[in-house]
Amino acid sequence: MKQRDLVKKLEDGGFVFERHGGDHDIYVRGTERETVPRHKEIDERLAKAILRRRGLL
């Protein structure tokens, strides 16, 4: 999955960009925090796990 597609799904789910980390971008929704690897392509299993963990899948 492309990183921008994953970020779009997170933002549609209420997450907002907080800051850049070392190799990740950090998105928050209230007290929830999700890190997204800063790669053009993100492994499909990892992307689905992130979305599933946040109830967006």
pLDDT of residue 57: 87
Task: Kindly report the CATH number assigned to the domain that includes residue 48.
Answer: 3.30.920.30
Q: Rounded to two decimals, what is the model's pTM? A: 0.92
Residue 7 sits in which domain range?
Answer: 3-53
Residue 38: CB atoms within 10 A of its CB come to: 13
Question: Over the stretch 3-57, which tens digit does the pLDDT of each residue have?
Answer: 999 999 999 999 999 999 999 999 999 999 999 999 999 999 999 999 999 999 8
Q: What is the CA radius of gyration of the chain?
A: 10
Element containing residue 34 per DSSP (H, E)? strand 32-37
Q: For the chain, what is the domain count?
A: 1
Q: Which two tokens stand for residue 48?
A: 């689905």
pLDDT for the residue numbered 24: 96
Q: What's the pLDDT score for residue 47?
A: 97
